[in-house]
Amino acid sequence: MLSNRNLLVTGGSRGIGAATCLRAATRGFRVVINYRTDENAARHVYDSIKTNGGDAILVQADISREDDVVRLFTESRRQFGALDGLVNNAGILERQSRVEAITAERLNRVFATNVTGTFLCCREAIRQMSTKHGGRGGSIVNVSSVAARLGAPHEYVDYAASKGAIDALTLGLSKEVADEGIRVNAVRPGFIYTDMHASGGEPGRVDRIKDTLPMKRGGHPEEVAEAILWFLSPDSSYTTGSFLELAGGR
């Protein structure tokens, strides 16, 4: 089932981003799969979409770099036309640490991708989507985290703070563009089985925590992708500035 609805997913080569790309393609989106370094993993997602009759392109870009972001959205528009959806999924965290040990360099790295990169992607998407600019509207979904309200003490308060910024962006931007055909919402996952936890120095983090969660299990990327797809779809047409939590009840 192909359509002319175009979706860009940042960090689409693995984890929640890859699950979102794959699921979106089965719902008829043409998917722009952004990746930063792992071309092989991104190509695997691309091949799966193509094999199942969907349409996609791959675009390398580091979203923490403004020139890369501009090139990403220019290339997307050149190949598919204006976007209908954007999933700001790319995000990083660094090794578990107390605040007293965090350096300015680390803060700048985390905020450059998680906050500045997400803002820049929103900016470029609005320029393509806004009815004010002659666009046909669209839906932006930000991938925040339950860390935004839990704070991630002893692990990564910097990461949690960056996701707090994403929540504020979601609220403010949703109101700014609500009458220009653009909806802006966010998912707040928590404890999802992906490779991100290895970056924090604890690949088995979800299994350590799972018994403390009300649902007594970790989540799967597909469960987050489904919520993202709902925000992208017309089924959520009267919803903007909203948050959907996927954290097993925590």
Catalytic machinery residues:
159
Distance of closest approach, residue 89 Cβ to ligand NAI, in angstroms: 5
Asked if 64 contacts 11 with a C-beta cutoff of 8 angstroms, the reply is: no
Member of 7, 8, 9, 16 binding ligand NAI (CB under 6 A): 16
Residue ranges in 122-181 that form contacts with ligand NAI under rule CB under 6 A: 143, 145
Of 74-82, 86-94, 124-132, 226-234, which part binds ligand NAI (CB under 6 A)?
86-94
Member of 36, 46, 110, 124 binding ligand NAI (CB under 6 A): 36
- Among residues 72, 73, 166, the alpha carbon closest in space to that of 115 is found at 166
The C-alpha atoms of residue 14 and residue 11 are separated, in whole angstroms, by: 7
Distance of closest approach, residue 16 Cβ to ligand NAI, in angstroms: 4
Q: Considering CB under 6 A, how many residues would be counted as binding ligand NAI? A: 27
Residue ranges in 186-205 that form contacts with ligand NAI under rule CB under 6 A: 189-192, 194-196
Of 24-32, 103-111, 174-182, 184-192, which part binds ligand NAI (CB under 6 A)?
184-192
Residue with tokens 């199942």: 52
DSSP class of residue 247 equals: S
**How many Cα atoms sit within 13 Å of 135 on the Cβ side?**
26
Using the rule CB under 6 A, is 117 a contact of ligand NAI? yes
User: Tokens representing 139?
Assistant: 């839906």
- Among residues 222, 218, 240, the alpha carbon closest in space to that of 231 is found at 240
Measured CA distances, 233 to 21, 56, 141, 146, 166 (Å): 14, 18, 11, 23, 21
Distance of closest approach, residue 169 Cβ to ligand NAI, in angstroms: 13
Q: Which residues bind ligand NAI (CB under 6 A)?
A: 10-11, 13-17, 34, 36, 62-64, 89-92, 113, 117, 143, 145, 189-192, 194-196
